Amino acid sequence: MKGRIAFQGEPGAYSHQACRQARPEMEALPCATFEDAIEACRRGDADLAMLPVENSTYGRVADIHHLLPESGLHIVDEAFVRVHINLLAVPGTRLEAVEGAMSHTVLLGQCRGFMKQHGIRPVTGADTAGSARHVSELADPKLAALASELAGEIYGLEVLARHIEDKSNNTTRFLVMAREPDLKRRGDDGMMTSFVFRVRNIPAALYKAMGGFATNGVNMTKLESYMVDGVFSATQFYADIEGHPDDANVQRALEELAYFTSYMKLLGVYPADPMRHGA
């Protein structure tokens, strides 16, 4: 599939890397915010949008679950991207010359061991790719950046040290969004179904709503709650389950869920990424 895929961040961001990995044939379109990436897809400036939803180290991405139900878009794929952090500097720089490293505060916190070992102080930047661009423009060998190899490629920086993150399994899950759903595909590694719902105001409603998945043998891989419109009494749940709504057991589980909910919205049906099962 050719066309454009929108992402939040500057060129070289890890979301850009996700676009390259999941849709290498498409042109990546950088956007300032998640809302801008969604809107670019919604109005047709892009065919798809790549949105991060959770990280194995830091949990879910703030605000994204609020945006998904109202986006008008549908999940058509997921992508798991390994977050490899690299020390990038202007060409010709020696590691011993680096005194500070700039990056987003989250990435700085993921490289404490390497930074301490080499006496490099953390310098907070707005984001990873922006930090790489700043280091390239400043051209001071004393300041390096922590970012992806893609960022180094884009901004003409050399990799002084590769994969310096403290946790070797750091992974971010992304969702690929489109204007139209695709319910016909069947993935080699199974299917995923994502939806949001609110339970009825009756005792043990959530417990009863979840019972249908257990009795029908449907594996729920994620269940998260979050407030709606900042009101403590209004809670919405986001869920991922294994299977397709056309599967008999999934169909029965969703019918039972509907009985105990006041609102339910399907967000997407899509093939499971092989990395979900450790491939």
Tell me what percent of the residues of the chain surpass a pLDDT of 90. 78
- Residue 238's Cβ-side half-sphere holds a number of Cα atoms within 13 Å equal to 17
User: Catalytic residue numbers?
Assistant: 172, 174
Confidence at 205, pLDDT banded by 50, 70, 90 = confident
Q: Which of 106, 93, 104 is nearest to 143 (CA)?
A: 93
pLDDT at 201: 78
Say which residues have a Cβ less than 8 Å from residue 97's Cβ, sequence separation at least 6.
Answer: 141, 142
- Name the β-bridge partners of 270: 192
Which residues fall within 8 angstroms of residue 229, CB to CB, at 6 or more apart? none
Query: Of the spans 54-58, 157-161, 202-206, 209-213, which averages the highest pLDDT?
Result: 157-161
Buried b (16+ CB within 10 A) or exposed e, 6-34: bbbbbbbbbbbbbbeebbeebebbbbeeb
- The two tokens of residue 64 are 């994204």
Instruction: Return the top range by mean pLDDT from 9-23, 59-73, 233-247.
Output: 9-23
Write the DSSP symbol of residue 24. Answer: T
Residues 6+ away with beta carbon under 8 Å from 43: none
Q: Of all residues in the chain, what percent are helix, strand and coil, respectively (each to 5)?
A: 30, 35, 35
Closest CA to 170 of 275, 20, 98, 263: 275
What pLDDT does residue 166 have?
92
- Res 60: pLDDT: 83
3-class DSSP assignment, residue 116: helix
* CA dist., res. 121 & res. 143, Å (int): 10
Regarding pTM above 0.85, the answer is: yes
CA distance 75 to 178: 6
- The answer on pLDDT for 266 being more than 90 is yes
For the beta carbon of residue 217, count every other beta carbon within 10 angstroms: 12
Residue 230 has pLDDT above 80, yes or no: no
Q: Give all strands of the β-sheet with 158-161 in edge-to-edge order.
A: 121-124, 100-103, 143-147, 86-89, 158-161
On average, the pLDDT of the chain sits at 93
pLDDT confidence of residue 56:
85
Q: How confident is the model at residue 22 (pLDDT cuts 50, 70, 90)?
A: very high
Could you give the CA distance from residue 222 to residue 204 in angstroms, rounded to a whole number?
A: 19
Mean pLDDT, to the nearest integer, of 136-162?
97
Dump pLDDT digits (tens) for 55-109. Answer: 887 788 877 888 999 999 999 999 999 999 999 999 999 999 999 999 998 889 9
As a whole number of angstroms, the distance between CA 4 and CA 49 comes to 9
